[in-house]
Structure 1
């Protein structure tokens, strides 16, 4: 039996897309994408597009 190395060494665009899909599916505004598989912890904050648009509008006004 061989061991499949499924540890993720870095975050890819597909992981970002999956996280954004979860935000939409669960109607959430923000989320975290965390990778524990690399030598150091990797984390990214995710924001729903509508939240970013509201922030930009309030900064411009």
Structure 2
């Protein structure tokens, strides 16, 4: 298996879990606003990418 295949699979898995949890929370709370629903789903798809970029480019400050 290629490293990129594993990375994409992990990204998709975390996105699907986040989408499912967001859907369940919106269903439980009774939120039916289309704008917030779209914003929530977009953020679920983006946050794993942001976290990966932060991990890759993190450099501790020298004391």
TM-score bracket for the superposition, by shorter chain length:
0.3 to 0.5
TM-score (norm 1): 0.33
Q: Which has the higher strand share?
A: 1
Q: Which has the higher helix share?
A: 2
- Larger RCO (alpha carbons 8 Å, 6+ apart): 2
